[in-house]
Structure 1
Amino acid sequence: MSSIVVIGSQWGDEGKGKITDFLSSKANIIARFSGGDNAGHTIATNGKHIHLSLIPSGVLYPDKLGVLGNGMVINPKSLLHEIHYLRQNGIPVHNLRISNRAQVLMPYHILFDHLQESLKGQKIGTTGKGIGPAYMDKLERIGIRMADLIDKPVFAQKLKQALKIKNIILTKVFNRKPLDFDSMFKEYYHYGQIIKPFVCDTSYLINHALDEGKHVLFEGAQGSMLDIDHGTYPFVTSSNTVAGNAAVGSGIGPNRINRIVGVCKAYTSRVGDGPFPTELHNQVSDHIRHAAHEYGVVTGRPRRLGWLDIVVLKHAVRISGITDLSLNCLDALSGIGDIKVCVGYRYHGKRIDNYPANNRVLEECQPIYKVFPGWDEDITCCTTVAELPKNARNYLESVSKMVGVPLDTFAVGASRDHTHILKNVWQEADK
């Protein structure tokens, strides 16, 4: 057996979907283990750009299984919309499997997401998709799981329990009208019956596949710096985005993970509020945004952009045990002149190389930059490191050396054809 975990090593939007899709060609199962439809990834294939939020990237391969793991919070309405979208684009979904232990995201989660955000003095900048409230209900043990949604009497009992609590808060705290049980039950039970054929014990499915020596690829959502424990709290998502959650969120033992691929860009981006030490507001960020079309897949918001931050990448390596690095969007740096890379922070005259947990401390940190000479050539036709201009090659190799992790792939564009292999990570996983 062999398995690979693909995670983001920055603040999300690093191109995980493309790398997952790229590695899926050798996998039998592609399983997502966290998050919900707040995550977005775009895959360029056969002249089309396919936008996915819930369904794993590997669903594009009809001979492989795409799994939504137990660590996810799944909006049935969004899921059915995505299934319809894939079918409209000629992509079958018979190979989709959904964990019976995954949490169901309900309409009141979205409502409470907006209501709670409106009360915060310091906005988190959520997507408003209800992810946080859904995970709150999971931990409060009043959540509804997929196994409940497809069981009529159980769903009725659990929805009544949840609405009893939610309606007290809505009426007493927010001065809102109570939510109606009958209409919500009818709508979501109907969704559950459509989804029911896909629902199964995915933990058993994945472990059985590994026992048979098959390849399993685990797909993370968002990025390491949005992890609820290890990210830029409170400006984070509501789940663990690090590689360790691949085991918890899909129902396997950590000893079954062989390799961990961290995906990053040749620069840094993030959507939403929160610390961003290397952020730029100038012609360089405008150039990158235009070259790489830096807008959020789910929100459509322009992404915040800045220089590559080695402190962030080393933090991601530590908290996830990244063994391999995939670097995307190298082409977006063409033509911008000298390129800066943050190699440390200066705080009150002293250098620090770890990412601070205290946001006040972080705000007072000044990036320490190393400057690399840029290049003007169009590199989108380069297929090997040797074909890159000298300065682009030096930048690529220097990033790997500074992070301390070997490069598996580099990309000079958005499509599969623009992603090039330096080392076969599946062969490494099989050893």
Structure 2
Amino acid sequence: VRFGAAQDSPLRTPKEPHNKVTVVLGAQWGDEGKGKVVDLLAMDADIVCRCQGGNNAGHTVVVDSVEYDFHLLPSGVLNKKAVSFIGNGVVIHLPGLFDEAKKNLEKGKGLQGWEERLKISDRAHIVFNFHQAVDGLQEQQREQQEGKNLGTTKKGIGPAYSSKAARNGLRICDLVSDFKVFEEKFRMLATHFQMMYRNLNVDIEAELQQLKIYAEKLRPLVTDGVYFMHKALTGPSKRILVEGANAALLDIDFGTYPFVTSSNCTVGGVCTGLGVPPSHVGRVYGVVKAYTTRVGVGAFPTEQDNETGDLLQSRGREFGVTTGRRRRCGWLDLILVRYAHMVNGFSAIALTKLDILDTLPEIKVGVAYEVDGHPLPSFPANMDVLTRVTVEYKTLPGWQCSTEAARSFDELPSQAQNYIRFIEDFLQVPVKWVGVGKSRESMIKLF
């Protein structure tokens, strides 16, 4: 059929995307409580996806007083009605994946039947045991040469992304097709790493045997991720949730380089890590903790290396889920969160762990940086500059009473309400949720 005038062609009328993905991202240095927000939204999601990172992430979700820990599995796997999807941008350590499932199964019945609910992209790269060994060796080298490490989780994430970029990495699709061919490639990659790192211990045979078993266990879970997402986006109405791992200031491009992770944990990683066009990205929620924490090394302008920092650390129980490391603590840094908003374009914010500030007589918020007496117009790329900034604070009165029982905005003390409003006004982004405790019920929804 020939169409005459342009208006006759149905292809030429712009189509609104059918289904859009909702994205939850960390807006600071991680550990903002993303797991809790994802869990909230996952309860009525149809698909929950991970798009980047690996088992260096750590999300804790409490359901029926059982505490589940997730590193690779999307926390939505607890929803029996949802499909969980691990996208092509994720790097997967297979022993880590199966071990995580096993541990969570032993804790409670939330994970029963997880294999039926999980799909894995055939284009995702694999983290091997030697990647993890190399991660440890590289940290040792950095420690010896520069006296400072990056503070990696030693889960092999960086080396796996390095293999991906060097184009000698192996993917899930390699593992589940011809194992003979896979074995050959694996031996080559392992030998390559042995040549680069003389004191690397690699048991090639043992790992291959293990991988052969995993190949069979994985096969039913593996799918063409691009086609899977396309069907989900263009088919019947679905709620699709994307769970960001790590956080904006740990992004390989926009984070505090070199003290960052090896993937894009800002909103761009959603498109590249799942194969989703930008027109299908819907709401983007930023998760902001009511104060700031950082694990490992790197500049931290609002850090309180004093009693306040200790108070936040102990009241907030600030230890890493993945590493168990003590987190450094400080006041909320809004310059940093505003920068995360510039990159991600948050639709709204989830403000978490407000209750940790309950005992403070006054609360400070970082509102501007200056260096050598000059105000900084934006967040600096150079870490040497960031270590030299002085922070201008706005001091707000504390509320000095418990907020843990509050279940609506009106039930919060007026000073806490003002703290929330101050954050909204500064960022020009609405706060949609406020977290005042550990349970699902303690996430107050404002609108």
Shorter-chain TM range is over 0.9
User: Which residues of 2 match residues 67-78 of structure 1 at below 5 A?
Assistant: 67-78=85-96
Q: Secondary structure at the match of 1:19?
A: helix
Maintained 8 Å contact 1:100/1:146: yes
Matched, 1:28 2:28: no
Q: Following TM superposition, by how much is the alpha carbon of 1:168 offset from its aligned partner in structure 2, in angstroms? A: 1.5
Taking the aligned partners of 1:162 and 1:150, their CA distance within structure 2 comes to 18
Q: Following TM superposition, by how much is the alpha carbon of 1:177 offset from its aligned partner in structure 2, in angstroms? A: 5.9
Count of aligned pairs: 419
Q: Following TM superposition, by how much is the alpha carbon of 1:182 offset from its aligned partner in structure 2, in angstroms? A: 2.3
Q: Following TM superposition, by how much is the alpha carbon of 1:164 offset from its aligned partner in structure 2, in angstroms? A: 2.6
Q: Following TM superposition, by how much is the alpha carbon of 1:202 offset from its aligned partner in structure 2, in angstroms? A: 2.4
- Alignment-derived partner of residue 197 in structure 2: 170
Taking the aligned partners of 1:178 and 1:420, their CA distance within structure 2 comes to 50
> Cα–Cα, structure 1 residues 283 and 178, in superposed 2: closer, same or farther, change >3 Å?
closer
Taking the aligned partners of 2:43 and 2:259, their CA distance within structure 1 comes to 35
One-letter amino acid matched to 2:185:
K
Q: 1:220 aligns with which of 244, 259, 273?
A: 244
Q: Secondary structure at the match of 1:258?
A: strand
Q: Following TM superposition, by how much is the alpha carbon of 1:180 offset from its aligned partner in structure 2, in angstroms? A: 4.0
Q: 1:400 aligns with which of 424, 432, 438?
A: 424
One-letter amino acid matched to 1:187:
Q
- Alignment-derived partner of residue 270 in structure 2: 246
Matched, 1:124 2:146: no
Structure 1 range deviating more: 113-122 or 130-139: 113-122
Q: Secondary structure at the match of 1:20?
A: helix
Taking the aligned partners of 1:375 and 1:87, their CA distance within structure 2 comes to 41
Q: Secondary structure at the match of 2:287?
A: strand
Matched, 1:184 2:207: yes
CA-to-aligned-CA distance 1:268-288 (integer Å, 9 cap, x gap)? 011111010000122222222
- Alignment-derived partner of residue 347 in structure 1: 371
Maintained 8 Å contact 2:133/2:200: no
> Cα–Cα, structure 1 residues 421 and 178, in superposed 2: closer, same or farther, change >3 Å?
closer
Q: Following TM superposition, by how much is the alpha carbon of 1:153 offset from its aligned partner in structure 2, in angstroms? A: 2.1
Maintained 8 Å contact 1:38/1:53: yes
- Alignment-derived partner of residue 428 in structure 1: none
Maintained 8 Å contact 2:362/2:398: yes
Q: Following TM superposition, by how much is the alpha carbon of 1:311 offset from its aligned partner in structure 2, in angstroms? A: 0.6
CA-to-aligned-CA distance 1:285-330 (integer Å, 9 cap, x gap)? 2222222211100011111100000110011001111111110000
Taking the aligned partners of 1:304 and 1:178, their CA distance within structure 2 comes to 33
Q: Secondary structure at the match of 1:264?
A: strand
Taking the aligned partners of 2:63 and 2:245, their CA distance within structure 1 comes to 20
Q: Following TM superposition, by how much is the alpha carbon of 1:336 offset from its aligned partner in structure 2, in angstroms? A: 1.3
User: Which residues of 2 match residues 36-185 of structure 1 at below 5 A?
Assistant: 36-88=54-106, 89-90=108-109, 91-92=111-112, 93=114, 94-120=116-142, 121=146, 122-151=148-177, 152-171=179-198, 176=199, 179-185=202-208
Taking the aligned partners of 1:418 and 1:33, their CA distance within structure 2 comes to 27
Matched, 1:280 2:307: no
- Alignment-derived partner of residue 314 in structure 1: 338
Maintained 8 Å contact 1:29/1:206: no
Structure 1 stretches lacking a partner, 5+ long: 424-431
Maintained 8 Å contact 1:150/1:189: no
> Cα–Cα, structure 1 residues 233 and 391, in superposed 2: closer, same or farther, change >3 Å?
same
One-letter amino acid matched to 1:50:
Y
One-letter amino acid matched to 1:206:
M
Maintained 8 Å contact 2:134/2:200: no
Taking the aligned partners of 1:281 and 1:170, their CA distance within structure 2 comes to 38
Q: Secondary structure at the match of 1:190?
A: helix
Structure number with larger C-alpha Rg: 2
Q: Following TM superposition, by how much is the alpha carbon of 1:126 offset from its aligned partner in structure 2, in angstroms? A: 0.7
One-letter amino acid matched to 1:302:
R
Q: Secondary structure at the match of 2:274?
A: coil
CA-to-aligned-CA distance 1:202-259 (integer Å, 9 cap, x gap)? 2222221121221110111111000000000000001110011101101111110011
Q: Following TM superposition, by how much is the alpha carbon of 1:263 offset from its aligned partner in structure 2, in angstroms? A: 0.3
Q: Following TM superposition, by how much is the alpha carbon of 1:189 offset from its aligned partner in structure 2, in angstroms? A: 1.8
Q: Secondary structure at the match of 1:101?
A: coil
Taking the aligned partners of 2:136 and 2:314, their CA distance within structure 1 comes to 31
Taking the aligned partners of 1:278 and 1:37, their CA distance within structure 2 comes to 28
Q: TM-score, normalised by structure 1?
A: 0.95
Q: TM-score, normalised by structure 2?
A: 0.92
Taking the aligned partners of 1:87 and 1:179, their CA distance within structure 2 comes to 30
Taking the aligned partners of 1:180 and 1:292, their CA distance within structure 2 comes to 41
Structure 2 stretches lacking a partner, 5+ long: 1-18
